[in-house]
Structure 1
Amino acid sequence: MIRILVVEDDTNTRKLMCAVLKQNGFKTLQANDGVAALEIMDKQHVDLVILDLMMPNMGGYELTRQLRLSWKNLPILMVTARQAPKDKRQGFIAGTDDYMIKPVDEREMVLRIKALLRRSQISSDHKLTIGEAVLDYDTLTVSREHEVFTLPQKEFYLLFKLLSYPNMIFTRLQLMDEIWGMESETDDHTLNVHINRLRDRFRDWTEFEIITVRGIGYKAVKKV
């Protein structure tokens, strides 16, 4: 059973989250701050961590940094009332995988958790299979039967990201931040060029398609 550690100093919020997770088939562990969370992590296996930002003793940003030092691929979801763009940026810089603002929609939270867990499994395997197509993260290749494409690094990362979350819409800013980094001067034109190259390479493939969501960004759709 998947174990999720909920790190939240508000007792009622923590209990509610745990109740929702249990209803959806997850086993839960609880901590009221970052120090207690690290003690649990040292003693028990945890598959995913949900954490608040504002907590005594050790807050969410520092806890995330500490977790990343020892558990590089551990999925982390920040759930917080802090909604300023600078808070989100700091969260992703610290190492979170996703960020939700309170009050959260419980069904959306569960869906995001499942997506993060799936992504974690893909990262562990370093391969993603869609129909007959296989994306190999270690070799930057996309193969199907006797066809093998070795992609430029950024193109591969972009395709792997989109196909890891089929039907999820990513904004242009999200993709540029993740693939090129927040400090990069990458612009819309660079992203569009990479998207168009991917479309040209895989135009005749029946396994997937990259869709433009006008005014927002892109998503990948499985066709098998």
Structure 2
Amino acid sequence: MAKLLLVEDDRMFAELIRHALREEGHSVDLAADYAEARGAATGGEYDGILLDVTLPDGSGLNLARELRQEGSDTPILMITGNDGPRDVVQGLDAGADDYLTKPLDDEILKARVRALVRRREPKGISTLAFGGIVVDRAMRRATIDGQRVSLAPREFTLLAFLVEHAEHVVARAELLEKVWDLSLDPNSNVIDVHVARLRGKLREHNAQPTLVTVRGTGYVLTLGARADG
């Protein structure tokens, strides 16, 4: 999962993009203009920025250029309706890592964002392993004892986070922040449903680690002998 900043003044278009990226398990903050984006980009830690070239109060090209001049290395994907060679060159010269033209295809968008986020990941941590479970975050693939596990995008993000924090109790609030969008109702049963589905798939593959519910606190992926809650 990545934390992304989407800079787009067309609210309906922005919500469509955010919905597509949430399906991949990403958390997406929105900024509608240059000033808002400027503050968010400099004040928040993002794994990637999706930046519209044309904003109501400025140019996305200028914003990308300013961020690079200030030393920001956050990957930037420029989004625009202009697809001429000169437009692409301008975007890349301004500091963008990639360039995508409207209208956007959801699957291409998701693939480009995956590639964008991989550039942000430090070497050596894209693959996680625990008790026979191997999670390849770059390829978004999980295996148990070498067998591929079919996971929905959110289940994959949840498993990756639990493997990364194996043998440590992860609070529901932390899952809300890292795996789900913070706007999700803390009392929602969405987390419990996804945990139950993931637990079932681990059992189907006879995984050694168990996904345990720590009542009143959260969840833990463990090799210990505790019974599932």
What TM-score do you get using the length of structure 1 for normalisation?
Answer: 0.53
Partner of 2:56: 56
Give the 3 Å change call, closer, same or farther, for CA 104–71 of structure 1 in structure 2. Answer: farther
- Structure-2 residue corresponding to 1:38: 38
- How far 1:128 moved relative to its partner? 10
Give per-residue Cα distances to partners, 1:61-85, cap 9 Å, x unaligned.
0011112123532110011101111
The alpha-carbon distance between structure 1 residues 126 and 12, as it changes in their structure 2 partners (threshold 3 A), is same
- Residues 154-211 of structure 1 deviation map (CA, whole Å, 9 limit, x = unaligned): xxxxxxxxxxxxxxxxxxxxxxxxxxxxxxxxxxxxxxxxxxxxxxxxxxxxxxxxxx
1:21 aligns with 2:18: no
**CA 1:43–1:15: 2 relative to 1, 3 Å:** same
1:157-196 equivalences in 2 (<5 Å):
none
What CA RMSD, in Å, does the superposition of the two structures yield over aligned residues? Answer: 2.2
Aligned to 2:7: 7
Segments of structure 1 that go 5 or more residues without pairing to the other structure are: 130-224
- Matched with 2:114 is 114
**2:84 equivalent in structure 1:** 84
Paired letter, 1:98: D
CA offsets, 1:49-107, max 9 Å, x none?
A: 00111111121100111121235321100111011111111000001000011001111
Report the alpha carbon displacement of residue 41 of structure 1 after superposing the two structures with TM: 2.2
Q: Secondary structure at the match of 1:46?
A: coil
Tell me the equivalent position of 1:98: 98
Structure 2 stretches lacking a partner, 5+ long: 128-229
Whole-Å separation in 2 of the counterparts to 1:71 and 1:25 = 28
Does residue 68 of structure 1 match 2:73? no
Report the CA distance shift for 1:95/1:42 in structure 2 as closer, same or farther (over 3 A): closer
- Matched-pair contact (CA < 8 Å) for 1:33–1:59: no
Instruction: Give the residue type in structure 1 aligned to 2:83.
Output: Q
Aligned in 2, Cα 1:16/1:119: closer, same or farther, shift over 3 Å? same
Larger relative contact order (C-alpha < 8 A, sep ≥ 6)? 2
* Secondary structure of 1:64's aligned partner: helix
**Structure 2 length normalisation: TM-score?**
0.52
Go from structure 1 to structure 2 and tell me whether the alpha carbon gap of 1:24 and 1:71 turns closer, same or farther (over 3 Å shift).
Answer: farther
* Superposed structure 1 runs of 4+ greater than 6 Å apart: 126-129
For residues 117 and 102 of structure 2, what CA distance do their matches in structure 1 show? 21
Measured after TM superposition, the shift of residue 43 of structure 1 is 2.8
Amino acid in structure 1 at the alignment position of 2:48: L
Q: CA deviation at 1:35?
A: 1.5
Q: Distance in 2 between matches of 1:42 and 1:72?
A: 8
The answer to whether the 8 Å contact 1:3/1:46 transfers is: yes
Q: Shift of residue 28 of structure 1? A: 0.7
Alignment partners' CA distance in 2, 1:40 and 1:19: 20
Amino acid at match of 1:32: A
* Distance in 2 (alpha carbons) for counterparts of 1:74 and 1:28: 15
Q: Distance in 1 between matches of 2:125 and 2:67?
A: 24
Return the alpha-carbon distance in structure 2 between the equivalents of residues 34 and 83 of structure 1.
Answer: 22
Structure 1 counterpart of 2:60, which letter? G
Answer whether contact 2:2 2:117 (CA < 8 A) is retained: no
Which residue number corresponds to residue 145 of structure 1?
Answer: none
